């Protein structure tokens, strides 16, 4: 039986974030192959985390900068190790290579964090993002190095695939495009006439989502003026006091916080709003909206890498005025709304079908594992980085471990 170890940056919370939902789709895909799956994380367990035991998955807490991980992975001897985001590869990659050199190493990037950070900095500096911002980014150098060191990296958006190939000259042999895997649902979308209000949803701890809420607080008065009976319901896990302080029933700006069922929330709303000014990857909120037949209004950043040149299920607005106009049009015009709702169903079928994407990934992993030695010989840059950069990480980690041990002995 194939043994798979997934090293998570956090414990999966599929109802809190798109990253959590994406991780669970991968874990369930691995279980469907009758693989033995272990999920390990150094993060603290949370109230919203999924019950892995019910999924037939072993959940193990591991420690940073501690040789106890060496004992754990030596006993497990996985055939494949998947790192959840590049920080986990930095922390544990050298230990995996040392104790299980023949295990296939896969990096699930979730999204390119260096891209998200660079765009965030550009917004803070009130300027346009440029590709050159990445070329001088320490985070980009770390993240790209992690991709090279792994046998295969899962890239979630077509835009990021293009970026890695064209601007970082990365070989397609070490990259695999894997957007969200969406299983078909027997859903009859709630009709236009039976819906009301706007909705926005996203984990408040995720900087692009919080920025979008602030943008909505500026855009909402004009939308409300044109749709006076409408309310804006804002959902998301971990709302801070600065978010709940924006709650204002008089203006219809309703900060609701945690949503027990994101699909139910999305299904009852008429339009989803997400004025994202920065970010990376693809956005799970729009997948939820499509599944429930709910049109959405967003920005080019929000829709980036999601459509495969098919029509967006709603409006993509480049200006504040266009965003407001798109929101009002979808809310008030049933025909426009219906066309957008149907466009979402087409996108789900053609771009995000779980069966098609899952089969392609499993086939890619099998082919890679069967030719792992030859594959690694073709990735000299990865071998070089593994030899040099991971040694510095190893020695730093061992120094921290020794320091911690000495402090405990004193």
Residues in the chain: 410
Pairing of strands 271-274, 296-298: parallel
Judged by DSSP in three states, 74 sits in helix
In 33-85, which residue ranges form alpha helices assigned H by DSSP? 68-76
Q: Which CATH number fits the domain 3-181+354-409, given the four candidates 3.40.50.2000, 3.40.1010.20, 3.30.70.100, 3.50.50.60? A: 3.40.50.2000
Query: What CA–CA distances, in Å, run from 105 to 28, 128, 329, 372?
Result: 19, 36, 48, 10
Mean pLDDT rounded to a whole number for the chain: 93
Residue 385 has what pLDDT? 87
**pLDDT tens digit sequence for 332-341:** 999 999 999 9
Question: Strands of 175-177's sheet, edge to edge?
Answer: 58-61, 36-41, 3-7, 80-84, 104-108, 152-155, 175-177
What pLDDT, in 10s, does the model give residues 162-193? 999 999 999 999 999 999 999 887 778 999 99
Q: Which of the pair, 240 or 154, is modelled with greater confidence?
A: 154
Residues 43-66 have pLDDT tens digits of: 999 888 999 999 999 999 999 999
Q: Could you report the per-residue pLDDT of 191-223, keeping only the tens digit for each?
A: 999 999 999 999 898 999 999 999 999 999 999
pLDDT recorded at residue 128 = 93
Domain with CATH 3.40.50.2000 in the chain: 3-181+354-409, 192-351
Q: How far is residue 46 CA from its own chain's centroid?
A: 18
Residue 367: C-alpha distances to residues 102, 182, 256 (Å): 15, 24, 47
Residue 406 in this model has a pLDDT that exceeds 80: no
Residue 311: per-residue pLDDT: 96
| The Cα angle at residue 176 between residues 304 and 79, in degrees rounded to 5 | 140
Residue 224's pLDDT band, with cuts at 50, 70 and 90, is: very high
Residue of 104, 84, 81 lying closest to 375 (CA atoms): 104
Quote the strand ranges of 249-396, DSSP E. 253-257, 271-274, 296-298, 314-316
Helix (H) or strand (E) holding 199: strand 198-201
User: What superfamily would CATH give domain 192-351?
Assistant: Glycogen Phosphorylase B; (3.40.50.2000)
Read off the pLDDT band of 304 (50, 70, 90).
very high
How many whole angstroms separate alpha carbon 151 and alpha carbon 157? 19
Rounded CA-CA distance 301/280 in Å is 8
pTM of the model: 0.91
pLDDT recorded at residue 191:
96
What was the pLDDT predicted at 409? 64
Residue 338's pLDDT is 97
Place 1 in a pLDDT band, splitting at 50, 70 and 90. Answer: confident
Quickly state the pLDDT bin for 395 (edges 50, 70, 90).
low
Quick check: 396 pLDDT over 80?
no
């Amino acid at each position: 039986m194939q043994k798979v170890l997934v090293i998570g940056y956090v414990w999966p919370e599929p109802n809190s974030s798109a990253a959590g939902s994406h991780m669970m789709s991968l874990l369930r895909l691995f279980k469907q192959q009758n693989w033995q799956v272990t999920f390990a994380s150094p993060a603290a367990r949370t109230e919203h985390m999924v019950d892995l035991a019910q999924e037939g998955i072993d959940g193990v807490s591991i420690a940073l900068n501690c040789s106890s991980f060496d004992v754990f992975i030596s006993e497990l001897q996985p055939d494949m190790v998947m790192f959840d985001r590049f920080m986990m590869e930095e922390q544990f990659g050298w230990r995996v290579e040392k104790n299980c050199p023949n295990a296939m190493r896969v990096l699930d990037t979730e999204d390119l964090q260096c891209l998200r950070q660079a765009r965030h900095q550009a917004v803070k500096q009130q300027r346009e993002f440029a590709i050159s911002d990445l070329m001088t980014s320490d985070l980009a150098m770390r993240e790209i190095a992690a991709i090279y060191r792994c046998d295969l990296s899962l890239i979630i958006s077509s835009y990021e695939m293009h970026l890695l190939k064209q601007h970082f000259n990365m070989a397609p042999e070490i990259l695999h495009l894997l957007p969200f895997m969406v299983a078909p649902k027997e859903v009859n979308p709630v009709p236009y006439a039976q819906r009301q209000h706007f909705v926005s949803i996203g984990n408040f701890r995720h900087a692009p989502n919080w920025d979008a809420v602030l943008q909505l607080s500026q855009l909402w008065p004009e939308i409300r003026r044109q749709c006076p009976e409408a309310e804006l319901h804002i959902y998301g896990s971990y709302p801070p006091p600065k978010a709940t302080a924006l709650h204002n029933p008089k203006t219809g700006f309703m900060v609701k916080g945690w949503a027990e069922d994101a699909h139910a929330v999305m299904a009852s709303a008429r339009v989803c709003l997400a004025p994202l000014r920065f970010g990376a990857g693809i956005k799970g909120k729009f997948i939820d909206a499509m599944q429930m037949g709910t049109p959405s209004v967003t920005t080019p950043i929000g829709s980036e890498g999601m459509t495969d040149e098919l029509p967006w299920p709603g409006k993509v607005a480049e200006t504040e005025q266009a965003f407001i106009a798109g929101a009002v049009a979808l809310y008030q015009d049933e025909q426009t709304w219906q066309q957008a709702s149907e466009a979402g169903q087409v996108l789900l079928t053609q771009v995000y079908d779980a069966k098609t994407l899952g089969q392609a990934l499993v086939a890619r992993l099998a082919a890679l594992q069967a030719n792992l030695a030859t594959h690694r010989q073709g990735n000299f840059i990865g071998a070089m980085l593994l030899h040099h950069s991971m040694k510095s990480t190893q020695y730093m980690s061992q120094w921290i471990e020794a320091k911690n041990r000495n402090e405990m002995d004193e």
